[in-house]
Every structure is written in structure tokens, then in C-alpha cells.
Amino acid sequence: MVERSRRRRADHASTQDGKRLFRVATRWKVLATTFAFALIGPAGALLPHARPLPSTTRAAVTPLAVLLPGSERPFWQPIASQFEREHPGVRVDLVEGPQSTDLRENIYTASLLAKDPTFDLVYMDVTWTAKLAAAGWLVPLDGFVSPAERLDFLPSAIAAGEYEGVLYRMPVRTDVELLYYRRDLLDAARLQPPQTFAELVSAARRLQSPPGVWGFVWQGKQYEGLVCNFLEVLSGCGGYWVDPATLDVGLDRPEALAALSFMLSCVRDHPVSPPGVTTYEEEESRRLFQDGRAVFLRSWPYAWQLAQMSGSPLRGRVGVLPMVHAAGGRSAGTLGGWGLGISAFSRHPSLAMEFIRAITSPAGQRALCAPTGYAPARKEAYADRELLAANSFLADLERLHGNAVLRPPIPRYALASDILQRHLSAVLAGSERPASALRDAAGEARAMLAGSRAASGSR
């Protein structure tokens, strides 16, 4: 309970801060494009959590700043404090940003575009690497991290930090999409855990009693999470979004139509998902499940530990599966995860690298992952006694990473995602029909990718 209310407070606070920061970011964008940024000074002056020091001590302190989701701040704080103790004269500023990856990416983009040195460290989603690296906004890490050191981390997590063969981001934690289910309810009804979309819907229908208890909750809001949900359903239908090797777009193929039709069927006709699902991000859907108001939940590994904590009504009652698939298809879970890069405009790149070493060290991984249930990026953490004692689920997680499906690692990923988000959301809201929405999304994605090819060809 204590943990939950702490997270709620953190979520609420971060939403408020997020709104504030987003207003700040929007202002930055405008200012940057009109070359007026310099007039307002560095962004640090605008940030709500930067701790100004009295002018007498300011000269002696080296600040090292990173923007992160508000909910993660309490868990980074002990690592940051330890780092400060080991580096006298250094102050780590953990700046609370919004929860959603899209909004934080906007803030970082606005800051980097303006060559603003405020954020030394860039806490990056798996999908940001190509864009930020291609723009020249990140320090290459090849000189800092040897090939042998990289072998200590999950290969998919390291790969997510590379662009054109160069490492730009060290993985801090990884994520893979999972399907949580109420094992107690399925057992009582003598139902086997589902493997296919049809079995999921049938079990959800049988066990739900809306509006009190819904069958299946997921993330249907127009944001990056919706793309993650769609991608794994699409893979489970045998389809693809953008082939990273050929840049071929698969959105107007029958598999994509089958995937979107499945998602739409969850909210239409004989729904198994609440109407509000089209406005849910991760926490809205997880809370419903956590409160015992949903049978199935699609979410990331962090949801497991919260379900098991003392006082949770779900303790001992939840099972986890790889995401279900079409009959004859294969399970897929979208690969997520977070890592740190160093801003090309940081005034302290070596110090920033030392912080990266601290948080990705065995002790750093323990400190971050034990209280949160985050999936570590370092391989040996999966056999770490302390971590396993805090979260026995780790052993399964390593295996579940085998089903991971990647979002395309292209520099214009944010645009590709935006196109898809808009059309998926319009279909779920009932304002576009699936086949024409996917045709339009495919056309827009092809035009955008052709534009990028032409731009890189003319460089």
C-alpha cells in the first residue's frame, strides 16, 4: 500500500511536472527555431527540480543532470547519492519529466536542437538511438566501453544502443511486453492459460463481469505504448511494420488488417476491454488490474513486482505469459528498455560516463532493479541472489526476452511512430475504418521513408 501510494504520488507529481516541462519544451522549440534561445539562458534556469545553490558555493559544485520519468526518481536517488559521496563536489540533478516516452523525447529533442548543455545524460528509450545519433547529438561511447565489456550485457539491449556500428547508449534496464493473467480465476473456471487471440477473448468473455471486472486491459491511447501493443499483435499474426533492412512497409498487408481487427474487436461489438482503454497508458491499465478489476493485462515486467508486494490483493494470484498469437502464429513481445547516452553538449562527458558506469555496475543494477522489478540489462544480474530474492520472476524474464520483437531502428522513427499512432487511434475511436486507415498509414510511411532515403542519398 505504502509503495503504491508512493508511486501514485510520484506519478501525479510527475504528471504535473511533465505538463510544466512540456510547456517549457514547447517554448524551447519556438525559441530555438527563431534563434532566440540564447536570450533566455540555459534550460537549467527553467527546470523545476534543478537545485540552485547559493552563489558562494556554486563555483565549487559540478552539476550532472539527467531528465527521467518522475516515477523513477526515488529509485535513482540512492544511486545518485552514493555517486555524490564518491565524487565530492559533484551534484547529480535528477530532473523529473513526464511518464510518457514521447513527451520526454520532445523535451530532450528541443534541448539538444538548441545545443543546450543542461542535460549531461540522455535517458533514452530503445527507439531514440538512431535519431539522436544521426543528428550528432550524442557522444560515441566506443572509446569508453570496450567490446569485452559489452559482452556483459544482454545483446538485444546493447544492439538498441548502436547506430551504424557505433555504440551511443549503454543499457540500464530492458523491457519486454508480457501478458499477465489472474491465475486464480482461470484455475477456478478450469481454464488453461490462453495461447491464441481467440482463446484470450473467449476466456476474457467467460470471466469478465463488466463494468466491475473487465476481460482484457491494455494501452490504447494515442502514444508510443499503442504502437508497442499493435506491433506484438501484428507479429503474432505473422506481419511486420517496417523491415529495417529493406525499409519495406507491411502495414497494408492482410496480417496488419487481422492485427488491427483483433484490437478493434476488443473494444467494439462484444467488448472485452473497457471503453476507456483507448485513453490508457501503462499505469491506468495496471491499476485496474491491480485493483482486481481485470482478468488479463498487457504490460511490462515492472507490473509483476507491484502485483506481488505485501498488501497487494493479487499476491500469489497472477500468472505471466508471452503475448498470445494467431492460430498457427508465434508469440511476440515488443522489446522496450532504457539506457543512458551522453549529450554532445555536456560540459562533463567523462563524469557522465562515470555515472553510467555506476548505474550499470552490478551494484547499480541491484539498487535500481531490486525495489522496482525492472529487468536488468546486465546478464549476471539474472543470477544475482539478492535480485532473485527480491524478484523470483527474473529467471522467467530472461527466457521471455527470446520472444522480443523490435521497433524499426531508423533515424525517423518518431515520424514513423506518429503516423501509425494517428491511424491506429482513429480506428479505435471509430473515426477511420481499419483497411483504409492501414492503407493510408502504409502510404504515409512509404512517402516518409522515401524522403529519408532521398535526403541521405543527397548528403
Binding site for ligand GLC (CB under 6 A): 101, 125-126, 175, 224-225, 228, 282, 300, 336-338
Strand 166-167 with 162-163, pairing? antiparallel
Matching residue, cell 526518481 = 73
Q: Which triple of cell numbers denotes residue 10?
A: 510520484
Tallying the residues shown for the chain, one arrives at 459
Nearer to ligand GLC, 222 or 346 (CB): 222
Residue 46 CB, nearest distance to ligand GLC (Å)?
25
CA distances from 428 to 125, 250, 390, 407, 446 (A): 25, 20, 38, 21, 23
Nearer to ligand GLC, 32 or 226 (CB): 226
Residue 320 CB, nearest distance to ligand GLC (Å)?
16
Residue 436 CB, nearest distance to ligand GLC (Å)?
26
Nearer to ligand GLC, 285 or 308 (CB): 285
3-state DSSP call for residue 374? Answer: coil
Helix 224-236, helix 413-428: angle, nearest 10: 80
Residue 302 CB, nearest distance to ligand GLC (Å)?
9
Nearer to ligand GLC, 175 or 384 (CB): 175
Residue 230 CB, nearest distance to ligand GLC (Å)?
12
Nearer to ligand GLC, 201 or 297 (CB): 297
Nearer to ligand GLC, 22 or 300 (CB): 300
Q: Which triple of cell numbers denotes residue 178?
A: 508480457
CA separation for the pair 340, 356 (Å, rounded):
7
Nearer to ligand GLC, 174 or 343 (CB): 174
- Provide the sign of the torsion angle of the four alpha carbons 124, 126, 129, 131, taken in this order: negative
- State the residue number with the nearest CB to ligand GLC: 336
Residue 409 CB, nearest distance to ligand GLC (Å)?
12
CB neighbourhood size of 288 (10 A): 19
Strand 62-69 with 121-125, pairing? parallel
Matching residue, cell 508465434 = 330
Residue 84 CB, nearest distance to ligand GLC (Å)?
27
Cβ burial of 274 (10 Å; 0-12, 13-18, 19+) is buried
Residue 184 CB, nearest distance to ligand GLC (Å)?
27
Residue 228 CB, nearest distance to ligand GLC (Å)?
5
Nearer to ligand GLC, 64 or 368 (CB): 368
Residue 158 CB, nearest distance to ligand GLC (Å)?
15
Strand segments, DSSP code E, in 275-419 are 294-299, 318-321, 333-342, 375-376, 404-405
Matching residue, cell 557522444 = 139
Residue 30 CB, nearest distance to ligand GLC (Å)?
26
Note whether 64 and 91 are within 8 A (CB): yes
From the list 391, 397, 355, the residue with the least C-alpha distance to 379 is 397
The HSE-up count of residue 267 (CA atoms within 13 Å, CB side) is 22
CA separation for the pair 378, 282 (Å, rounded):
24
From the list 372, 406, 420, the residue with the least C-alpha distance to 69 is 372
| Three-state secondary structure string covering 25-88 | HHHHHHHHHCCCHHHHCCHHHCCCCCCCCCHHHHCCCEEEEEEEEHHHHHHHHHHHHHHHHHCC
E strand or H helix at 189, and its extent?
none
Q: How far does CA 252 lie from the centroid of its chain?
A: 26
